Amino acid sequence: MRELIDLERANIEQLLGLRTYLLTVPVTELQKHLNWQNPAFSTPHILEEQIAGMQPGDLYQLTDPFSCQYLALRIRDEVLLCGPYLNGLPDKSQIHSLLVANQLDYSQQTDLQNYLNFIPVSEDLPLFTALQILYRVIEGPKAHVHYQHFHHLPIAAASLSYPPKEGQTANLQLIENSYVLEDKMLTAVSHGNSREALEQLSELMRTGARHIRTGERLRDERNLCFVLGALLRKTAQQAGVHPVYLDALSGDFARQIEQCRTVQEINRLRMRMVRSYSERVNRMQNKTDSLLVRKALNYIQLNLTTSLSVEDIAAEIGCSPNYLSTVFNQELHQSITAYIHEHRLGEAADLLRKTNLSIQSIAAYVGYTDTNYFSRLFRLHYQKTPTAYRKNSGRTVHEPSSLNAIDDDCQESSDQSQSP
């Protein structure tokens, strides 16, 4: 749990520029915990009063008398406090109103202005959503937080930093609708129902709230895609999918997310992610893989970049090579050698896109000691040489050739050079 919280704290601090604090319940002497920029304008007693009454799952938004916002989430026996932040920088007239509302002398105008100038500016929704996602990742995809907003601004100043009530209501309804759709999607994934999951994802993409905002649309969409990947992985894990499959799947999708160059590419990737996790759950639940094949797949995945042969795998899991090959073909409609080639070449393609390693180094890294053999396999699979693939950044999508056919075509070379 602590690792997840620390990861989310880092995301909030890096993406939104806000301070975060992890406090143990009961929270006392808050002034000692927080790095206040100017004690004259700090209001720890206001935060302490509300945090003291929080229960697990409570998400409180607190507004202090100087328009500064805080979000506090109770997670079991700890409170994650984020802030302060402003919804927007106040102008001179608003600064004057804050002075009057807080019964401060006009001579403190410059000090208050300087204090607020160093408070980060952020919208509520990105932080609000990040904390909800964190809570659901820790407590499960169906867990919900209980949101309350506590205003401590005088009435005269409260209008400075808040949108109209109708706008707040619309935003909250939008968020609620997003989470309803997301719950339905994850429920469908947990049952291996890819069709229903994709329908809910389509509706979510069409009508859902956009949560994480950095000011750069593509970066925002990538971040949202990473969040989706985390939720899908957690859902599949709770449905019983072995971590070895999830590691391979999530790692591959994480690389693909960073390689997307347009929002359209990210949207298509979202669909592939939901479909892949749903199908993996469905496959596991329907037991389409026998225990023997699952053991073989686990061994292959863990040793993909080392020397592998059917004989090695069979010896490791305790059966004859011929029997393993027969069962593997029957269940996956693909030979063991073809399966190994497919995953090695996928890893090689990723290295070609993201590194400057030589072709020879990449071939060796993914398990091919013969660079010519590797290049031939790669060209048959991707219809491009490794060099051409790298030159085009791998952005042109081709339907890969059958690796069973590649396996047959290259068998003679394979026998001469190496096992897969």
Q: What is the pLDDT along the chain (420 residues), one digit of tens a residue?
A: 778 888 788 878 766 778 888 888 877 666 665 655 455 676 666 677 778 888 999 998 888 888 888 899 999 889 998 888 888 777 788 888 888 888 888 888 888 887 787 778 777 777 887 888 888 888 887 788 888 887 754 433 333 333 334 444 445 566 667 778 888 899 999 998 988 998 888 777 765 555 545 556 677 788 888 888 888 988 888 887 777 678 777 877 888 888 888 877 888 888 889 988 998 888 777 665 677 887 888 788 778 777 788 999 999 889 999 999 999 988 878 899 998 998 888 888 878 887 888 999 899 888 888 999 999 999 998 888 999 988 885 443 344 444 554 454 444 444 434 445
Total residues found in the chain within this entry: 420
- pLDDT at residue 266, as a whole number: 86
CA distance 201 to 204: 5
- pLDDT at residue 294, as a whole number: 79
- pLDDT at residue 395, as a whole number: 44
- pLDDT at residue 397, as a whole number: 39
- pLDDT at residue 234, as a whole number: 86
CA distance 65 to 151: 8
CB 371 within 8 A of CB 359: yes
- pLDDT at residue 158, as a whole number: 36
- 73: which strand partners? 59, 80
- Alpha carbon 270 to chain centroid distance? 11
3-state SS record for the chain: CHHHHHHHHHHHHHHHCCCEEEEECCCCCHHHHCCCCCHHHCCHHHHHHHHCCCCCCEEEEEECCCCCEEEEEEECCEEEEEEEEECCCCCHHHHHHHHHHCCCCHHHHHHHHHHHHCCCECCHHHHHHHHHHHHHHHHCCCCCCEEEEEECCCHHHHCCCCCCHHHHHHHHHHHHHHHHHHHHHHHHHHCCCHHHHHHHHHHHHHHCCCCCCCCCHHHHHHHHHHHHHHHHHHHHHHCCCCHHHHHHHHHHHHHHHHHCCCHHHHHHHHHHHHHHHHHHHHHHHCCCCCHHHHHHHHHHHHCCCCCCCHHHHHHHHCCCHHHHHHHHHHHHCCCHHHHHHHHHHHHHHHHHHHCCCCHHHHHHHCCCCCHHHHHHHHHHHHCCCHHHHHHCCCCCCCCCCCHHHHHHHCHHHHHHHCCC
- pLDDT at residue 314, as a whole number: 93
> Which pTM was predicted?
0.41
Angle, alpha carbons 165-171-177 (nearest 5°): 135
CA distance 291 to 21: 46
Angle, alpha carbons 223-393-280 (nearest 5°): 55
CA distance 210 to 219: 12
| CA Rg value for the chain | 27
Beta-carbon-side half-sphere exposure of residue 263 (alpha carbons within 13 Å): 8
Nearest Cα residue to 304 out of 339, 340, 348, 357 = 340
Q: Position 9: which residue type? A: R
Residues 6+ apart with CB under 8 A from 5: 22, 75, 78, 80, 134, 138
For each of the domains in the chain, give its residue range(s) and CATH number, in order of start: 2-162 (no CATH), 170-288 (no CATH), 290-420 (1.10.10.60)
CB 83 within 8 A of CB 69: yes
Nearest Cα residue to 349 out of 373, 308, 384 = 384
Which pair of tokens denotes residue 224? 């949202």
- pLDDT at residue 141, as a whole number: 78
| Region of residue 17 (phi > 0: left; psi between -120 and 50: alpha; otherwise: beta) | left
CA distance 237 to 244: 10
CA distance 104 to 34: 23
